[in-house]
Amino acid sequence: MSNTDDAKNRPADAGRRDALKCMGWAGAGVLWTLAGGVPRGALIGSAEAAKMPAGGLHFVQISDTHFGFAKDANPDVAGTAREAVAKINALPVRPELVLHTGDVTHLSKPTEFDQAEQVFADLKAGPIHFTPGEHDVLDDNPGALFHQRLGKGATAGGWYSFDQGGVHFIALVNVLDFKAGGLGQLGASQLEWLERDLKGVTASTPVVVFAHIPLWTIYPQWGWGTSDAAEALSYLRRFGSVTVLNGHIHQVIQKVEGNISFHSAMSTAYPQPAPGEAPSPGPMKVPADRLRQVLGVRTVEFVPGGTPPALADQILANS
Amino acid sequence: MMTRRISAPALVLCAIALGLATASPAAAGSDDKKVAVAIKEYAFSPAAITVPKGTTVVWTNNDETPHNVTTSGKQFKSPPLDTGDSFSWTFSQAGSFTYFCQLHPQMTGKIEVVP
């Protein structure tokens, strides 16, 4: 049994994954509430979802738009990114912010950043915050272009934090200075910054951490993990509610570890195979009429009263 | 719980460790000393080669995903290679060069340059 199976076989995860798959095929969004560490599912649009109290914080995660990609797996990634934006704009509640968890572009080209900015300009939502993926830092001075275009408000290293709606948000960067044979990494400077940043935050404050590569090891053979994530997580364990959002693997995989829950997201560009179920993690080609069932965005809602957030992964369309 | 499926890259790494993937030195003294390394399925193939000084190694990306070639000692770094793109480097000094893909650091390779 692999590490991945370990993650997959957790009963809560298995139920969630299976249910998500079923709902995905059935074409319905699923709303997940993490209560006591055990996710509960409910259909989007059901009475339960509609009863969500107003006045919390509602935001969206979008990931792996890969502007510039034009291979068989999806020859029109700008088109599916626009569909994702339309889906966000059609939400019943206007999101107060949007988090992009990286791989905005495919090859870090200025034209790709241009296209991303044009598409995201149509978002009817609060500010959009980015953290880079490894595809965004391919310029000669790695990450300089990303930082200039999308890194407003970030520290020189690219990481940053902010507070909104009573939630402390932290953008981490784990796609720089890779070592041969290694995984994603945060590095000593960023870890020191994180420890300092969290010192001023009370343990009852909900924390949302977002980064490109998963902060838990999903499948090291494909580089799906962050080598020094354990150090970062050690600073986060005292908090009552920590939600870690990431992209990179173009599929939803989840793990709950005490008060920390981890959630990888779908891409809006193309799917990737489940861990170990293909010779490599390359773009997965699915029939054209099924592509939008494996692409999507995620909504996250905090409700007043300190309950954990409700996460809903929503596919782009049924066909 | 820790038993892992052995993936192709893992086998390649094992092969490197055992010295099994080391190719024969390219024809020394040839006027056109070029050696090709393919990038396919998130792996360099062959992953380890031994070449005489002066050899030009040509990497070609056959994947649908961009890759690059970055040496661990920072002697050189290729631009990102999209599908079908190639990158060449002429090794004028003897030595051992380990390299990896900047986007997918699990992809590693080694060039042994002999005098």
What tens digit of pLDDT does each residue of A10-58 get?
334 444 444 333 333 333 334 444 333 333 343 343 333 333 344 689 9
- Please give the Cα distance from A187 to A109 (Å, whole number): 26
Residue in B4, B13, B64 closest to A282 by CB: B64
pLDDT at residue number A305: 72
Q: In chain A, what are the domain boundaries? A: 7-315
CB A25 within 8 A of CB A293: yes
Chain A neighbors of B4, CB-CB under 8 A? 2-3, 221
Is pLDDT at A166 greater than 80 in this prediction?
Answer: yes
- Please give the Cα distance from A242 to A238 (Å, whole number): 9
Q: Average model confidence (pLDDT) for chain A?
A: 86
pLDDT at residue number A156: 87
Is pLDDT at A133 greater than 50 in this prediction?
Answer: yes
Question: Stretch A188-196: mean pLDDT, rounded?
Answer: 98
Q: How confident is the model at residue A306 (pLDDT cuts 50, 70, 90)?
A: low
Q: Does A180 contact B104 at a Cβ distance shorter than 8 Å?
A: no
B68 close to A (CB below 8 A): yes
Q: What is the DSSP letter of A47?
A: H
What interhelical angle do A77-89 and A110-120 show, nearest 10?
30
B3 close to A (CB below 8 A): yes
Percentage of the residues of chain A whose pLDDT score is greater than 90: 76
Give the pLDDT confidence of A217-266 residue by residue, as tens digits: 999 999 999 999 999 999 999 999 999 999 999 999 999 999 999 999 99
Q: Which CATH architecture group holds A7-315?
A: 4-Layer Sandwich (3.60)
pLDDT at residue number B31: 52
Mutation target among B3, B7, B108 for the A interface, most CBs of A within 10 A: B7
B61 close to A (CB below 8 A): no
Q: Report the range of poorest mean pLDDT among A38-47, A188-197, B29-38, B51-60.
A: A38-47
Phi and psi at residue A223, in whole multiples of 5°?
A: 75, 20
Phi and psi at residue A225, in whole multiples of 5°?
A: 180, 175
Mutation target among B68, B102, B106, B108 for the A interface, most CBs of A within 10 A: B106
pLDDT at residue number A153: 82
Minimal C-alpha gap between A108 and chain B (Å): 9
pLDDT at residue number B21: 38
B2 close to A (CB below 8 A): yes
Handedness of CA A93, A99, A102, A104 (dihedral sign): positive
Give the pLDDT confidence of B6-47 residue by residue, as tens digits: 344 444 443 333 433 344 444 444 456 999 999 999 999 999
| Nearest of A22, A20, A92, A88 to residue A50 by alpha carbon | A92
A182 close to B (CB below 8 A): yes
Q: Average model confidence (pLDDT) for chain B?
A: 81
B45 close to A (CB below 8 A): no
pLDDT at residue number B22: 41
Is pLDDT at A77 greater than 80 in this prediction?
Answer: yes
Residue of A nearest to B106 (CA): A181
pLDDT at residue number A100: 98
Question: Stretch A140-154: mean pLDDT, rounded?
Answer: 92
